[in-house]
A and B are shown apart, each in its own frame.
Chain A
Amino acid sequence: MTIDEIQNEIAADFKKHGNWFEKRKYLIQIGKSASPCARARASGDNLIRGCQVSTWFYSESKDGKMFYEIDSDSGIVKGIAVLLARIFSGQIPQDIILSDLKFVADAGLEEDFSPVRANSVLKIVGRIKETAAASLR
């Protein structure tokens, strides 16, 4: 599936959940049901220290495609991290670099990407694009 196709699928899932509370409950469940990110947590170098939330980020390039494992100590950020890993894992770096996060508005998750409230999430997005770009060098 392409990046946009996965984003459309996620947005459609979230539209089934009405208000903020239901959407976040779903998001938290997504985070909880994900398999443990042992590789992300294995090294202190993988830690992305946000203003409030700690996130662990692991990426690798394999056969010209990127793969991500992202973990967080916040339930909400973990849920988003899992979504981002799902969207971008298995994609080629060029597509990742040029992609827009269209699902955020469609899924009703805008405030989770607010620079003030959620700088951790934006840092994750930044790392995804940086690692994709680095794999091309």
Chain B
Amino acid sequence: MNMTNPKKFDVKKIRNDFPILKRKVNGKPLVYFDNGATTQKPKPVIDIINKMHTELNSNVHRGIHFLSDQTTQMYEAAREKTRAYMNAKSTREIIFTSGVTASINLAAFSFGEAFVKSGDEIIVSEMEHHSNIVPWQMLCRRNGAKLRVIPFDENGDLLLDEYQKLFNERTKLVALVHVSNSLGTINPVKEMIAVAHKNNVPVLVDGAQAIQHEIVDVQDMDCDFYAFSGHKIYGPTGTGVLYGKEDWLDKMPPWQGGGDMIDRVSFSETTYAQLPSKFEAGTPNYIGAIGLGAALDYLTAIGMENIKRHEKELTDYGLEKLSAIDGLKIYGTPKNKSCVFSFSLAGIHAYDIGMFLDKMGIATRTGHFCTHPIWERYQVDGATRASLALYNTKEEIDYLCEAIKEAKKMFD
């Protein structure tokens, strides 16, 4: 894994790799600040998807013919790239899914079937995305277990003392977001995993908003499961990964049944394939996975250290500039913050701000961002969110701030 690249980070050059950033929206140059929802795709990802469809398409793990062999090799190479990117021990620990939601649902079902019984408890945090709440709630309903919740403070930092108090002999799993999509909080996952392990409890980390911004080393972090989506890390939509320690995955039953996940099938008994196939029933999104592999190659070539440094500059600059706007409140000012700014403007609804910014060519997200409990905590209906990525610039932040000031004039 080469996460450090000594080359200078050249944001102009990087922007050239993303064709969509050249387009205009509503007559204005596009400022794409909705990266928390999905990221744009660099040329290598677009090119490989096109190439797969035009030259190489064939189902994987099934044919003995040339195309199937080529595609299978590329699909498994994408698995190896993903393993290396996360520093997993083995490709058997990398399950391709359709996205982080599918990854967590898979874990919730299979882990729950094997290990969660009536009266057991699962710990989540108050800042989880609904994708890391609802699958566990569904499991609780099925198995009679219950959720325990780690609260966060006004700044958006989890209360670690409260977290420690939630463990007891019935705790079976911690499901924790690495980076909050609404607050930008970078949670101290390594420290929190160590606490869980002291209590003999495994941890699933929702990395949907972390994998594209942070250096994720699953062995160093020592998480038991790590889930993310490909489309949020510059890869294609409909791709995702569930990393799981082999020991756990081996003990968990399959989630879905079908082709490719079996060893032998008869009407009296079916035996299952080895990892990772056991969890990949049916034809996988192999072209998507290969595209994800290209995205990981792209990021590795730039160097995650360089990306982190650039995004930290954007975070600090954005906080400073946005905070200076009269009447603007930022939700999420934690100790460690990712490049996500959720904000409200006094007297103006988030929907109105979002509509106005759209007319200025700025793509933001408005609403609750699939984190209802966060907004209940702040007792507001939601916010406007500018979520940045490696291709964003300080000039774009300046433009956002000017546009917000214009919006204030219009709504005053």
**B-contacting residues of A (Cβ < 8 Å)?**
20-21, 24-25, 28, 51-54, 73-77, 117
Question: Of A21, A54, A76, which one neighbours B352 at CB under 8 angstroms?
Answer: A76
Instruction: Give the distance in Å from the alpha carbon of A25 to the alpha carbon of B406 in the complex.
Output: 12
Q: How many A-B residue pairs have CB under 8 A?
A: 38
What would 8 A/B residue contacts be, using CB atoms closer than 8 Å?
Answer: A20-B26, A21-B359, A24-B410, A28-B410, A52-B350, A76-B351, A76-B352, A77-B351
Instruction: Give the distance in Å from the alpha carbon of A76 to the alpha carbon of B350 in the complex.
Output: 11
Contacts of B411 in A (CB 8 A): 28, 75
Contacts of B381 in A (CB 8 A): 52, 54, 73
Whether A76 touches B355, Cβ cut-off 8 Å, given contacts A28-B410, A28-B411, is yes
Closest B residue to A77 using CB positions: B351
Contacts of A28 in B (CB 8 A): 352, 410-411
Closest B residue to A20 using CB positions: B359
Whether A25 touches B351, Cβ cut-off 8 Å, given contacts A52-B366, A52-B367, is no
Closest A residue to B360 using CB positions: A21
Closest A residue to B350 using CB positions: A52
Question: Of A25, A52, A75, which one neighbours B348 at CB under 8 angstroms?
Answer: A75
Closest B residue to A117 using CB positions: B355
Given contacts A52-B350, A52-B381, A75-B411, 6 further A-B contacts (CB under 8 A): A24-B410, A28-B410, A52-B366, A73-B349, A77-B351, A117-B355
Query: Does residue B361 face the partner (Cβ distance < 8 Å to A)?
Result: no
Instruction: Give the distance in Å from the alpha carbon of A51 to the alpha carbon of B350 in the complex.
Output: 12
Restricting to B1-36, which residues have a CB under 8 Å from any CB of A? 26
Most buried by A among B349, B356, B366, B382: B349
How distant is B300 from chain A, measured CB to nearest CB, in Å? 36
Closest B residue to A79 using CB positions: B352
Closest A residue to B349 using CB positions: A74
Contacts of A76 in B (CB 8 A): 349, 351-352, 355
Is the pair B367, A51 in contact by a Cβ cutoff of 8 Å?
yes
